Chain A
Amino acid sequence: DVKVTQSSRYLVKRTGEKVFLECVQDMDHENMFWYRQDPGLGLRLIYFSYDVKMKEKGDIPEGYSVSREKKERFSLILESASTNQTSMYLCASSRVAGNRSPLHFGNGTRLTVT
């Protein structure tokens, strides 16, 4: 079974803090993704990466950056946290296998910025 592990289940940070969300997958997947999920807005893609040191902006990259130094690890960085970044953050991974490879999600990190 694919396992995608997010380092924290719940996180509370103050406005202006730098926040790191970590994600590790154990299936040697090439692709990794960061989504946020908000009521009424669904899942929105922040950033994704299809290879080590590669990254692409998703639909809502503003206020975020990412790092992929190793294939199994994909980090989401909030440079200066703001209250509108309070959300559920979901990491996912998938194999490069044409258009049929599904996403496998981690358990999520619920971030509260006060």
Chain B
Amino acid sequence: QKEVEQNSGPLSVPEGAIASLNCTYSDRGSQSFFWYRQYSGKSPELIMFIYSNGDKEDGRFTAQLNKASQYVSLLIRDSQPSDSATYLCAVKKDAGNMLTFGGGTRLMVKP
């Protein structure tokens, strides 16, 4: 089992819909969770992070964390074609500084 797992996709949603991206992790000691967006040929850029159970909202983005079930998700409301990218989930296990990345989910938003 991979430490951080994501469905590779592609996930295809129509413009204006909600895109739901999921990530599961294996280590119960994981403490911080990050979502990065990566456009083709570009480097990852941080969207948001979450470390407490529940929801965290930032504009059109909502991160959801459920530590008991060991999953974290990212919701994108009112999806736009410009949201088409690969979304990487990353997990920090402890107070150290290493992030473990999932393989990423490719999102396609169709006009």
Contact = CB atoms under 8 A, between A and B. Distances in A.
Contact of A100 (B51, B94, B98): B51
Interface residue tally on B, bucketed by range: 20 to 34
Given A42-B104, A99-B32, A100-B51, A105 B97 contact: no
Contacts of B42: 107-108
Interface string B87-102: 0101010111111011
A77 interface: no
Contacts of A107: 42-43
A50 B98 CA distance: 10
Given A105-B44, A107-B42, A42 B32 contact: no
A74 to B, nearest CB: 13
A98 B95 contact: yes
Interface string B31-64: 1101000000011111001010000000000000
Q: Is the interface of A mostly helix, strand, loop or mixed?
A: loop
Given A42-B104, A102-B34, A102-B49, A96 B43 contact: no
B43 A90 contact: yes
Contacts of B104: 42
B46 A48 contact: no
A11 interface: no
A44 to B, nearest CB: 8
Interface in B22-37: 31-32, 34
A42 B97 contact: no
Contacts of B97: 31, 48, 50, 94, 96, 101
Contacts of A104: 46
A69 B84 CA distance: 39
A78 interface: no
Contacts of B44: 43, 90, 103, 105
B77 to A, nearest CB: 22
Interface string A23-67: 000000001000000001111010010100000001000000000
